[in-house]
């Protein structure tokens, strides 16, 4: 293992010492190299403000072949996890009538299934950024739709900050052309390149992909990174993540990932996403990944 990886490993979260179940971090940061193995250019609906953009992503280095368990018993508090069902039914919608789905509803169903499973673990505190179709700060008024939509995104990370969360997981579904029959398919997870949080982010992302693809007939597209084109950096000099949901959390020293579970406009994936039982399985697979990553025991 590289020295840098060892340092990163030591920086990874926390063990829960006063609660009835244990929390450990199972990390295998084996050779987290800087090598980027693949670059893709695909359209996606996922950008901060919601417009489809031509996207350049990099496939992050894959971690891990053998597991290690690291626990840093430095806290007497529960591990706090914020689950974030992306978008909402008012200011930041993702309606796809031609596809028979609305992304905000899919995200919510998946996140709720994850939430319900994690709630069984009394050694963690699990929160969800919205409990219905409304955006997280629906009680506020804004001058225009864009301001309102942006505020709904900021409210998600503000929520995590207020809860003093240890982990932030955002739930999304993907699209490429927006028309049923698109070629792109499968699950992918956006992770950070930040030097301190990269290992944990990649490990959680890797486990998410493993569990999703075990639970459902979905292809793994791997871990992805996308950085801001302006070449701005974090405090450690690494490129700042494009997505605010990642960059704001990372700026606040909080590991974060964005899960794109499947492609709404791919016929195969679409069929899965239109089945509520499959959405439940996706959410429970995400929960299983978190359980594995942090070594949660009932
Ligand atoms: Zn989305």
**Complete domains list, the chain, with CATH:** 3-293 (3.40.630.40)
| Number of C-beta neighbours around residue 118 at 10 A | 24
Rounded Cα distance, 88 and 85, in Å: 8
62 C-alpha to center of ligand 1: Å? 24
| Number of C-beta neighbours around residue 215 at 10 A | 17
128 C-alpha to center of ligand 1: Å? 16
121 C-alpha to center of ligand 1: Å? 28
Rounded Cα distance, 15 and 63, in Å: 22
* pLDDT value for 42: 39
For 15, phi then psi, to 5°, come to -115, 145
Res 259 pLDDT > 60: yes
244 C-alpha to center of ligand 1: Å? 13
19 C-alpha to center of ligand 1: Å? 34
For 128, phi then psi, to 5°, come to -130, 140
Mean pLDDT, rounded, for 32-45: 36
* pLDDT value for 247: 98
Res 113 pLDDT > 50: yes
Question: What is the C-alpha radius of gyration for the chain, rounded to an integer number of angstroms?
Answer: 18
Among 235, 269, 284, 278, smallest CA distance to 96 is for: 269
Among 201, 169, 205, 217, smallest CA distance to 289 is for: 205
Taking phi over 0 as left and psi of -120 to 50 as alpha, with beta for the rest, 253 belongs to left
Q: What is the DSSP code string of 228-289?
A: -TT--B-TTSSBPBSSHHHHHHHHTT--EEEEEEEETTSHHHHHHHT-HHHHHHHHHHHHHH
138 C-alpha to center of ligand 1: Å? 18
125 C-alpha to center of ligand 1: Å? 25
107 C-alpha to center of ligand 1: Å? 8
* pLDDT value for 66: 40
For 211, phi then psi, to 5°, come to -70, -40
* pLDDT value for 22: 63
29 C-alpha to center of ligand 1: Å? 28
The DSSP H or E segment spanning 50 is none
Mean pLDDT, rounded, for 163-170: 97
pLDDT digits (tens, 9 = 90+) for 207-231: 999 999 999 999 999 999 999 999 8
The DSSP H or E segment spanning 24 is none
48 C-alpha to center of ligand 1: Å? 9
Among 175, 185, 275, 201, smallest CA distance to 32 is for: 201
52 C-alpha to center of ligand 1: Å? 11
pTM of the model: 0.82
234 C-alpha to center of ligand 1: Å? 24
- Greater confidence (1 vs 182) lies with 182
Q: Which of 12-16, 87-91, 135-139, 226-230 has the highest mean pLDDT?
A: 226-230
Sign of torsion over alpha carbons 229, 233, 239, 241: negative
- Is residue 45 within 8 A of residue 132, CB to CB? The reply is no
Res 39 pLDDT > 80: no
Confidence of residue 29 (pLDDT cuts 50, 70, 90): very low
Pairing of strands 53-59, 220-225: antiparallel
Rounded Cα distance, 260 and 174, in Å: 6
For 29, phi then psi, to 5°, come to -90, 30
Res 294 pLDDT > 60: yes
Rounded Cα distance, 41 and 37, in Å: 14
């Amino acid at each position: 293992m590289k020295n840098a990886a060892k340092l990163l490993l030591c920086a990874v979260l926390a063990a829960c010492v006063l609660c009835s179940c244990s929390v450990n971090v199972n990390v295998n940061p084996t050779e987290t190299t800087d090598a980027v193995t693949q670059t893709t250019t695909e359209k996606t609906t996922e950008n901060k403000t919601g417009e489809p953009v031509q996207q350049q992503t990099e496939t992050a280095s894959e971690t891990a072949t053998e597991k290690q368990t690291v626990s840093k018993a430095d806290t007497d508090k529960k591990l706090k996890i914020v689950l974030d069902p992306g978008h909402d039914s008012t200011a930041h919608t993702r309606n796809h009538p031609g596809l028979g789905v609305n992304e905000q509803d899919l995200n919510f169903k998946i996140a709720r299934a994850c939430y319900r499973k994690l709630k069984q673990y009394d050694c963690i505190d699990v929160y969800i950024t919205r409990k219905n179709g409304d955006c997280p700060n629906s009680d506020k008024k804004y001058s225009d739709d864009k301001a309102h939509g942006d505020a709904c995104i900021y409210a998600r990370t503000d929520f995590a900050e207020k809860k003093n969360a240890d982990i932030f997981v955002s739930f999304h579904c993907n699209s490429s052309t927006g028309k049923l029959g698109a070629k792109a398919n499968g699950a992918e997870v956006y992770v950070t390149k930040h030097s301190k949080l990269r290992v944990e982010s990649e490990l959680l992302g890797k486990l998410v992909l493993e569990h999703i693809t075990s639970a459902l007939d979905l292809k793994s597209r791997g871990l992805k990174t996308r950085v801001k084109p302006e070449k701005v950096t974090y405090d450690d000099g690494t490129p700042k993540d494009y997505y605010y949901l990642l960059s704001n959390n990372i700026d606040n020293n909080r590991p974060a990932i964005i899960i794109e579970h499947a492609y709404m406009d791919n016929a195969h994936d679409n069929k899965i996403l239109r089945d509520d039982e499959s959405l439940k399985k996706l959410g429970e697979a995400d929960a299983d990944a978190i359980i594995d990553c942090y070594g949660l025991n009932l």
